[in-house]
Chains A and B, each alone.
Chain A
Amino acid sequence: MADDSALQESAPAVQTTGLTRRFASITAVDNLDISVAPGLIFGLLGPNGAGKTTTIKMLTTMLAPSDGKAWVAGFDVSKNPVQVRRAIGYVSQMLSADGALTGYENLLLFARIYGIPWRERKARIYDALAFMGLTDAGQVLVRNYSGGMVRRLEIAQSMMHRPRVLFLDEPTLGLDPVARRAVWEHLGELRNRFGVTLLMTTHDMEEADHLCAQIAIMHRGRVAAIGSPASLKAQVGPKATLEDVFVHFAGGPLDDGGGYRESARVRRTARRLG
């Protein structure tokens, strides 16, 4: 893929060819081929241990692929990891804002390490807080925030440097329905206002149906199906829901997906082997 900036603008926001990650004898991601157009909200669905988080780790340069290629914002994740990191934002699965700091201080840290000029920092931070509806909470310690507020703060944090691609790993995990809907609204606004591409993993079929223009269902490290929610439902049956699609392609209902032992083993092995 060319490094030319014009090409990078028009290239897929995310592209993988044969992307693979192995942990000893376990293949967590197996020959993944996806292409995400700029400005799209793309969902990765799948049971536990399907390889969603491992895929995000590779695309965000946290984990080196065992095989295959991946480009994010036109940059090769293996060859140009620093350029990839400059072009992306990341919201982790955990509520990861630092509870010992205020909302403002959490944003300030990332404004500094993303090199936002000091003259612009304050305005950018207050803009981000206002955009996420957190203006009044800016000087409050994050340990006093609700889960939904923490999640909105993290999205603000991930967007301060205006990334071209935003990765969200289960962004509404553990949130109540009201907080979940607030996060959805903000994600939609983010895409409309900044044209950012969103790649998110989720277990929540309603969330995927509501937000995602395209979905890939992963099963045992592979893409079992890919398409728009409507086209996937049409493939399964006339009255099929997205949950039916999931069961059809991932081979079981959500609650059975992956299994505790399997995912625990994959994680233990991954941690042990690095």
Chain B
Amino acid sequence: MSIIDFLRDTFALADVEMSKLRRDPAELLTRAIQPALWLLIFGQVFGRVKAIPTGSLDYLTFMVPGILAQSVLFIAIFYGISVIWERDLGILQKLLVSPAPRTALVLGKALSAGVRGLAQGVIIYALALMLRIHLDFSPLHVVGVIGFIVLGSALFSTFSLAVACLVKTRERFMGIGQVLTMPLFFASNAIYPISLMPGWVRAIARVNPLSYQVDALRALMVHAGQSVFGVGVDAAVLLLIFTGLVLLTARLYPNVVT
């Protein structure tokens, strides 16, 4: 199979998801509620208390990229349930007996999750402007933000697909999804710097992909934002984990129907 065929299959699957989203965009609006609560209530209160040292950035500005990454994570981590639905409807079986490579099936899903994540980006930018956060709109940085939103969303949705392939039932999957989201969020630099964490939490945060996504978003999204790890390192870490997850999930994918 040529790379063109591979990309054709990947985009065909992502395109289907996009068609569905265009037809029924209501879900995107309901997903705006949670990040709005975090920014408008939690962020405003902790910004006034000034209990968390965030360097040159005020707390709300520090928090905005973290909440963007969090809202992307919270959607992507439950994306795997779609594969269980598709199995129960017989859609997945038809895809698995087609000549499309398993990797293209997984990448197609990841890509569509990535594009869904962009909708969260638009919502957070709008909320941030309302809160008078000083955002960085230089074209290169905006492109960078788009890239990291898509990459983070694709990564966590692929992780979610892998979990779905292992647990195989909606009930187990929802339980595991709920168990995973909060530790991933709190053991990251989304709402406080890693330097404030006790040693054992810091160790988890350093292997948590969400920390690298937030780190890059903080450097690219807000004015005077700085990266701790380096944006190049963030991209490399996320790409490496994403590639590994895609390969793993492509192997696990047929398990869902057995």
Give chain B nearest CB distance to A165 CB in angstroms.
11
Give chain B nearest CB distance to A132 CB in angstroms.
16
Report B220-258 residues with CB < 8 Å from chain A CB.
Answer: 254-255, 257-258
> Is B12 a contact of A92 with CB atoms below 8 Å?
no
> Is A85 a contact of B23 with CB atoms below 8 Å?
no
Within the assembled complex, what's the spacing in Å between the Cα atoms of A101 and B20? Answer: 7
> Is B258 a contact of A109 with CB atoms below 8 Å?
no
> Is A113 a contact of B97 with CB atoms below 8 Å?
no
Report B72-88 residues with CB < 8 Å from chain A CB.
Answer: 88
Report A85-133 residues with CB < 8 Å from chain B CB.
Answer: 85-86, 88, 90, 92-96, 98, 100-101, 105, 109-110, 112-115
Within the assembled complex, what's the spacing in Å between the Cα atoms of A114 and B90? Answer: 18
Report B2-39 residues with CB < 8 Å from chain A CB.
Answer: 5, 8-9, 12-13, 16, 19-20, 23-24
Within the assembled complex, what's the spacing in Å between the Cα atoms of A212 and B191? Answer: 66
A61 near B: Cβ within 8 Å? yes
Q: Which of A57, A105, A113 contacts B99 (CB 8 A)?
A: A113
Residues of chain A with a CB closer than 8 A to B89's CB: 94-96, 98
Within the assembled complex, what's the spacing in Å between the Cα atoms of A86 and B98? Answer: 7
> Is A113 a contact of B12 with CB atoms below 8 Å?
yes
Within the assembled complex, what's the spacing in Å between the Cα atoms of A274 and B255? Answer: 6
A271 near B: Cβ within 8 Å? yes
> Is B94 a contact of A96 with CB atoms below 8 Å?
yes
> Is B16 a contact of A105 with CB atoms below 8 Å?
yes
Classify chain B: how many residues form its interface, as a range.
Answer: 20 to 34
Give chain A nearest CB distance to B45 CB in angstroms.
40
Give chain B nearest CB distance to A180 CB in angstroms.
18
A60 near B: Cβ within 8 Å? yes
A82 near B: Cβ within 8 Å? yes
> Is B98 a contact of A112 with CB atoms below 8 Å?
no
> Is B24 a contact of A109 with CB atoms below 8 Å?
no
> Is B93 a contact of A62 with CB atoms below 8 Å?
yes
A85/B99 contact (C-beta < 8 A), A90-B94, A92-B94, A96-B91 known: yes
Report A134-163 residues with CB < 8 Å from chain B CB.
Answer: 157-158
A110/B257 contact (C-beta < 8 A), A93-B90, A101-B19 known: no
B123 near A: Cβ within 8 Å? no
Give chain B nearest CB distance to A131 CB in angstroms.
19
A247 near B: Cβ within 8 Å? no
> Is B9 a contact of A113 with CB atoms below 8 Å?
yes
B96 near A: Cβ within 8 Å? yes
Within the assembled complex, what's the spacing in Å between the Cα atoms of A138 and B95? Answer: 21
Of all A-B residue pairs in the complex, the 4 with the closest CB atoms, nearest first, are A96-B90, A94-B90, A92-B90, A112-B12
Could you give 26 example pairs across A and B, Cβ below 8 Å? A61-B96, A61-B97, A62-B93, A62-B257, A82-B99, A85-B99, A92-B93, A94-B89, A96-B89, A96-B90, A96-B94, A98-B20, A98-B89, A101-B20, A105-B19, A109-B12, A109-B13, A110-B98, A112-B12, A113-B9, A113-B13, A115-B5, A115-B8, A115-B99, A158-B94, A270-B258
